[in-house]
């Protein structure tokens, strides 16, 4: 890789000081244990072990029934500990999951008013709703690594059988570091058929949401689709995005509920699909 890097990027990785040496050294060990999420998961494991529970023990489960038993007997009681309830009541406690204060406020509406109950419900879904053999998100959370070859499923982009397809189509991908509203403003009307928004809308203001959906609606082709996730269960658009915009879209309620149930990451409360109506 090094000979193909531009000078600035190569200097970032190779300049001789202790910080940059640490950056490149992470590739000598489990890269997935680094970064905010990796550190958050590590802290979760240390917290559980403080209460006498090793989350990695669930990886010995041979069935969904075994997974359920481990959760009920080992993991669930941890969320009743006063110390954990106190810690998770602080908004900064979830920064490692990429959850800023605005999204924290939305997320907490999904439970009984405490973040501990929300996290317990999400971890229950991760631990109990999907076989470990099919859920690489659970491997990251509990085993702190991806499966070795033959152990369990990997993300599609890491499966060996998909490598040639990815390599042969890499020239069809274009990367833009840009504000999405401004990016769409440069597109022709009716020229985009798919939009993937992840969960960014959770911390947008009403003005930002309306500006975004104005451009989405303008650039969307007939039958275009928009998918996104939310921390809370319901879609956040009704009551915040103007009816003049939303009336041009159909909310796929049944499909959204089905997709939410199939979301193996278990972090989010809802998965939502909107389909553009014919003019």
In terms of residue numbers, what domain contains 91?
A: 34-145
- What does the pLDDT average to over 174-198? 96
32 pLDDT band, cuts 50/70/90, is: confident
pLDDT in tens, 2-11: 899 999 988 8
**Residue 26 binned pLDDT confidence (cut-offs 50, 70, 90):** confident
136 and 237: one domain?
no
Q: Answer whether residue 200 shows pLDDT above 80.
A: yes
Q: What is the pLDDT of residue 209?
A: 97
Edge-to-edge strand ranges of the sheet holding 249-251: 192-196, 220-230, 270-276, 249-251
Q: Which residues contact 227 (CB under 8 A, 6 or more apart)?
A: 195, 196, 197, 259, 271, 272, 273, 274
Domain boundary among 101, 127, 145: 145
Tell me the pLDDT tens digit for each residue of 122-167: 999 999 999 999 999 999 999 999 999 889 999 999 999 999 999 9
* Full-model pTM: 0.84
Residue 17 resides in a domain: no
Same domain, 51 and 123: yes
Computed over every residue of the chain, the mean pLDDT equals 91
Extract the tokens encoding 123: 């971890």
Q: Is residue 182 located within the same domain as residue 133?
A: no
The single residue listed with the structure tokens 């099919």 is 134
- How far apart, in whole angstroms, are the C-alpha atoms of residue 101 and residue 83? 21
Per the structure, how many domains does the chain have?
2
Domain boundary residue, one of 145, 161, 191? 145
The CATH number of the domain holding residue 260 is: 3.40.50.150
Tell me the sheet residues that pair with 226: 195, 274
> Rounded mean pLDDT of 7-24?
75
| 165 bridge partner residues | none
As to burial, measured by CB atoms within 10 angstroms (0-12 exposed, 13-18 middle, 19+ buried), residue 84 is buried
Q: Is residue 27 part of a domain?
A: no
């Amino acid at each position: 890789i090094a000979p193909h890097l531009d000078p600035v990027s190569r200097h970032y990785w190779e300049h001789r000081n202790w910080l940059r040496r640490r950056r490149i050294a992470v590739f000598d060990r489990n890269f997935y244990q680094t970064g905010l999420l990796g550190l958050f998961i590590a802290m979760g494991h240390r917290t559980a072990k403080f209460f006498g529970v090793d989350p990695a023990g669930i990886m010995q489960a041979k069935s969904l029934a075994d997974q359920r038993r481990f959760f009920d007997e080992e993991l669930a009681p941890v969320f009743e500990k006063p110390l954990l309830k106190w810690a998770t009541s602080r908004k900064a406690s979830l920064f490692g999951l990429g959850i800023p204060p605005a999204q924290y406020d939305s997320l907490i509406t999904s439970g009984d008013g405490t973040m501990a109950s929300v996290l317990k419900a999400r971890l229950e879904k991760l631990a109990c709703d999907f076989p470990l053999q099919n859920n690489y998100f659970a491997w990251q959370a509990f085993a702190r690594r991806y499966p070795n070859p033959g152990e369990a499923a990997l993300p599609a982009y890491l499966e060996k059988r998909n490598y040639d397809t990815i390599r042969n189509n890499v020239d069809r991908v274009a990367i833009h570091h840009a504000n999405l509203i401004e990016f769409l403003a440069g597109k022709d009307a009716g020229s985009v058929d798919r939009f993937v928004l992840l969960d960014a809308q959770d911390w947008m203001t009403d003005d930002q949401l309306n500006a975004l959906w104005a451009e989405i609606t303008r650039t969307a082709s007939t039958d275009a689709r928009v998918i996104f996730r939310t921390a809370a269960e319901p879609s956040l658009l009704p009551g915040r995005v103007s009816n003049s915009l939303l009336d041009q879209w159909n909310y796929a309620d049944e499909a959204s509920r089905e997709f939410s149930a199939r979301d193996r990451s278990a972090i989010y409360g809802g998965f939502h699909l909107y389909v553009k109506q014919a003019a």
